[in-house]
Amino acid sequence: MLLLILTYLPSLACGIHAVRSGQQMYWLWILVIAPVLGPLIYFFAVLVPEFAGGRTARGVSRAAQQALDPERELRAARQALDDTPTIGNRMRFAQAAERLGRWPEAEAQWAQCIEGPWAEDPAVLMGHARSLMELSRFDEALKRLEQLKALGREGETPQAQLAFARTYEGLGRNAEADAAYRACVDRVPGLEAGGRYVAYLAKVGRKTDAELGLAEIDRRLQKIAPPLRGEARQWRDLAASAMARM
């Protein structure tokens, strides 16, 4: 009995802090079902950021909360939109839905954002184009990207070029897709553009070029800091999977 009481003391202490500091109530559930691991997670996710107060610590807290409750931001964005249906809150909801891969919901919000005075806002046009691409509605996505390009420099950014490349690829316009990929592959931060380009090269049967591209991705991957390498590796995996299907 004494051992059981001692085991739950850290959970009790963390639970008292959670209630007094107004933390989300799911912490109490975690502390009860995991009396050893729960307090440890709570310490690094809540207490360390609270004591340190720095940007890195806050990032740790956000990452932990996202892992434990991935729909938290979506719920908050939905509530904010219900309370105050502004363009900013609608964009926030769309972006939260995107992060969860809920593209139909994201597209519905971007479609409403693009009506009225925000019809030529670059962020709205890109957001709507992005969601349309993910839904394989490439004809509509291209219209949005062409609207963006007509605004001038906003349509010439590396991210816009990558969006054009993906859209042209989806439409089977391979020559234009290849040109757009080559224009952005070394300009978009990270490995997404390179990974998508290698996947495209594999798709169209350019094996030698795809192998060279994958080797370049591997070289760049090794130079990325270990904490960031996991996110970058997904694009390497995308490229490698496409090549395995050749």
Residue boundaries of the structural domains of the chain? 2-68, 71-113, 120-244
Please give the Cα distance from 81 to 62 (Å, whole number): 21
Please give the Cα distance from 160 to 129 (Å, whole number): 10
Q: Is 161 a residue whose pLDDT tops 50?
A: yes
Look at the chain and count its residues. 246
Q: Are 72 and 65 in contact (CB under 8 A)?
A: yes
Region 93-119 average pLDDT: 92
- Class assignment of domain 120-244? mainly alpha
Q: Is 8 a residue whose pLDDT tops 70?
A: no
Average pLDDT, the chain: 85
Short-list 133, 199, 124, CA closest to 166? 133
Please give the Cα distance from 136 to 157 (Å, whole number): 22
The model's pTM? 0.72
pLDDT at residue 113, as a whole number: 92
